[in-house]
Amino acid sequence: MSVKKKKKIQLHKAAPVLAATAFFLTAGAFPALAGDTVYVNCDVLRCRSTAEIRDNNIVSNLYYGEKLERVGSSGEWTAVMIDGKKYYVASSYLTTEKPSAKSSSGVQTSSGTGSSQQADGAQIGLSGSYRYAEFSKINTGKAVLYKSQSQNRKNKTVCVNAGHGTSGGSSVKTLCHPDGSPKVTGGTTGAGATSAVAVSGGMTFADGTAESKVTLVMAKKLKEHLLEQGYDVLMIRETDDVQLDNIARTVIANNNADCHIALHWDSTSSDKGAFYMSVPNNSTYRAMEPVASCWQQHHKLGDALIGGLREAGVKIFSGGSMEMDLTQTSYSTIPSIDIELGDKVSDHSDATLEKLAAGLTAGVNDFFGY
């Protein structure tokens, strides 16, 4: 004999705690503490200028194990002092006990000093805990973080992604969109496809040079310019091959950088000039997350980079952009751009790449308001 139990469906009443949270979010009502030490207890923690989740209040990234002075708390948010200024971080990622060095996650330091704070030269892989990480198929490679030694540190990390350069990348396919919907424009993979090559091989310049070789040289130049300007730089690729597909590159950037710039040259042969791949004006695509929350920031970054290039004397194609449904854009949760710096017949001499690096760096300064 058995008795079947019926599950009761409970209706939850709206939690009164919301009202209390709203109260604490007003600046004057943030309860002060005497001041004690707390530590970051997650891979990357957003440091914000106000106690709320917004795209435009992120001041910098804090990293696992980093020591902070706590001066106030509302429960959900904690006020911390950094360089004499008050900032806000999510309380749930803090601990009062110094966290031990960890090696299990995708975030690793190369220093081996016992501190897991991301140091200059830290290798950063794809952590399974990152949003959309499960869509990546090639992800054994590591990106490398470089910290600026400039006196004038910006506390911003720019992800520099040298396009292509993943051997085997064109024989593996990944989903174009995280929701499985089909591509809305053509490109390397045609419109209507739901999956695309994980990383394509790239084109070959008219003089026989592989695009991936030129994007690598370009990335290294851009890195030097950005470090000199006070930006930290997350380099996706520093050799001919990195085993990170476009989704892995994007997701690593999402979680460890403040913006993402992928460097490319286009496959036409008209020397048409530089442009960025803009988010297609397609209502379904622009309504899909994370595109919906981020596409305007992508355009802001693209416009800033084109503005910097134009001022540096670089030839610009048409209005400076072309609509393209890209895997990169479809998974980006930070300002993120694929920029095409020319095409198959464009000059890619050292002098030209220097000019491009200076223009892009001016664009980054403009984007961040410097």
Q: Which is nearer to Zn ion, 74 or 174 (CB)?
A: 174
Which of these ranges, 52-60, 91-99, 158-166, 223-231, lies near Zn ion under the rule CB under 5 A? 158-166
E strands in the chain: 32-40, 44-48, 58-63, 67-73, 77-82, 85-90, 94-95, 107-108, 123-124, 143-146, 157-162, 173-175, 195-197, 232-235, 259-266, 274-278, 316-323, 336-343
Give the CA diameter of the chain. Answer: 86
Per the omega criterion (within 30 degrees of 0), is the bond before 290 cis? yes
Binding of residue 344 to Zn ion (CB under 5 A):
no
Question: Given strand 44-48, what is the order of strands in its sheet?
Answer: 58-63, 44-48, 85-90, 77-82, 67-73, 32-40, 94-95
Closest contact distance (angstroms) between CB of 164 and Zn ion is 6
| 109/255 Cα distance (integer angstroms) | 16
What SS3 class is residue 152? coil
Q: Which is nearer to Zn ion, 30 or 205 (CB)?
A: 205
Q: Which is nearer to Zn ion, 202 or 273 (CB)?
A: 202
Binding characters for Zn ion, 166-205, by CB under 5 A (x = yes):
------------------------------------x---
Q: Binder to Zn ion among 141, 163, 302, 359 (CB under 5 A)?
A: 163
Residue holding tokens 């601990």? 95
Q: Binder to Zn ion among 264, 298, 344, 348 (CB under 5 A)?
A: 264
Which of these ranges, 112-120, 257-265, 301-309, 347-355, lies near Zn ion under the rule CB under 5 A? 257-265
Closest contact distance (angstroms) between CB of 202 and Zn ion is 5
Closest contact distance (angstroms) between CB of 186 and Zn ion is 15
Q: Which residues contact 207 (CB under 8 A, 6 or more apart)?
A: none
Q: How many residues bind Zn ion (CB under 5 A)?
A: 3
Binding characters for Zn ion, 60-79, by CB under 5 A (x = yes):
--------------------
Closest contact distance (angstroms) between CB of 271 and Zn ion is 16
- Which residue, judged by CB position, is nearest to Zn ion in the bound state? 264
Q: Are 91 and 40 in contact (CB under 8 A)?
A: no
- Give the burial class of 2: count Cβ atoms within 10 A of its Cβ; 0-12 exposed, 13-18 middle, 19 or more buried: exposed
Token duo for residue 270: 């008209």
Which of these ranges, 26-34, 58-66, 155-163, 177-185, lies near Zn ion under the rule CB under 5 A? 155-163
Q: Which is nearer to Zn ion, 163 or 165 (CB)?
A: 163
Closest contact distance (angstroms) between CB of 167 and Zn ion is 16
Closest contact distance (angstroms) between CB of 181 and Zn ion is 24
List the one residue out of 99, 117, 81 whose CA is nearest residue 41: 99
- State which of positions 125-154 bind Zn ion (CB under 5 A): none
Q: Which is nearer to Zn ion, 125 or 163 (CB)?
A: 163
Distance between start and end Cα atoms, the chain: 76
Binding of residue 48 to Zn ion (CB under 5 A):
no
Binding of residue 290 to Zn ion (CB under 5 A):
no
Q: Interface with Zn ion by CB under 5 A: which residues?
A: 163, 202, 264
